[in-house]
Amino acid sequence: MNTTVNPNKALWEKGDFTRIAATMRESGETLVQKLGITKGLKVLDLGCGDGTTALPEAKLGADVLGIDIAQNLVEAGKRRAAKQGLTNLKFQEGDATNLKQVPDNSFDLVVSIFGAMFAPKPFEVAKAMVRVTRPGGRIVMGNWIPNDPTFVARLLKISSNYTPPPPEGFVSPMTWGIENNVIERFAAAGIPAERVSFTRDTFTFNFQGTPSAYVDEFRKYYGPTMNAFEAAEKQGRAAELQKELEELFNSQNKSQDATSIPATFLRVTVAV
Ligand SMILES: C[S@@+](CC[C@H](N)C(=O)[O-])C[C@H]1O[C@@H](n2cnc3c(N)ncnc32)[C@H](O)[C@@H]1O
């Protein structure tokens, strides 16, 4: 039996990402509306979580497969699809670094919204996404941008200031938000730069509660923030981290009576 822990999988199975995903639904739907989805289009939603974008894709009539490395999120996605009677949406456990269960040229559209960016080995990920997309098809990625002044980049930056340095050779997921890196990765997968285009877009997180209560959701349920708090507690710095996050969430909140926080991301479109 193989008992080696995959830290990438363990990070996302930790806590309960569905609690955060529940605050991402409106922007997920808005984004899917922009993807030109038509009835019968074959769509792979990679790093799909519990289906924030996969469900709206299926509701537009696409034939959707959601793949995610986290078993608990795949199960949550299946429950959501069943509840909504979406028979054209399937979920499977799988790894974006190889997509080994997926045959070549299987999809018209591969969508990965803040998903594949979190897989290790970015060159392998680009290669796998290109391999499973049919010639003439498209890949659309949503990637957070390093050093961006908005919410998620700052949340991840603050968290990383409390966690031990990553192992040597680790490539930060945030590098998927740098255009030259994206071009280089798809070029290595055989896609020339002129077939990769970029646009900045906004994703808004909506939570029915105060910004401080939203920080608590991240502290209790979001793997990267949970890890940051565990590390901060060992250093006696948990209160400091809590304060930094509350300042961030409060300063970014646009709502008077709940929490609504916009975040800028890089939308990447690849013509395969
Ligand atoms: C920030 S969440 C986004 C989930 C979903 N796309 C959404 O917008 O709600 C990142 C997702 O990527 C998945 N993920 C991370 N590494 C992966 C990998 N190597 N292969 C497949 N999925 C992965 C995680 O399990 C998690 O569901």
* Residues 85-133: tens digit of each pLDDT: 999 999 999 999 999 999 999 999 999 999 999 999 999 999 999 999 9
| Cβ within 8 Å of residue 272, ≥6 positions away | 130, 133, 134, 135, 136, 137, 138, 139, 191, 195
Q: For a pocket test of ligand 1, which of 24, 30, 50, 69 has the largest count of ligand atoms closer than 8 A to its C-beta? A: 69
Q: What is the pLDDT of residue 96?
A: 98
Q: What is the pLDDT of residue 37?
A: 97
Name the residue with tokens 């979580």. Answer: 49
Residue stretches of the chain with pLDDT short of 50 = none
State the DSSP string of 106-120. Answer: -EEEEEEESSGGGSS
DSSP H stretches of helix in 145-210? 151-162, 179-188
What three-state secondary structure class fits 72? helix
238 in Cβ contact with 229 (< 8 Å): yes
Closest C-alpha to 76, from 46, 55, 49, 58: 49
- Distance, in Å, from the CA atom of 80 to the CA atom of 68, rounded to the nearest integer, reads 15
Percent helix, strand and coil across the chain, each to the nearest 5: 45, 20, 35
Q: How far is the CA of 256 from the centre of ligand 1 (A)?
A: 31
Q: How far is the CA of 49 from the centre of ligand 1 (A)?
A: 5
| Cβ within 8 Å of residue 147, ≥6 positions away | 153, 157
Q: For a pocket test of ligand 1, which of 48, 110, 113, 204 has the largest count of ligand atoms closer than 8 A to its C-beta? A: 48
For atom 10 of ligand 1, the residue with the nearest CA is 115
Q: What is the pLDDT of residue 91?
A: 98
Pocket of ligand 1, beta carbon within 6 A: 8, 12, 17, 21, 24, 28, 47-49, 52-53, 68-70, 73, 95-97, 113-115, 118-119
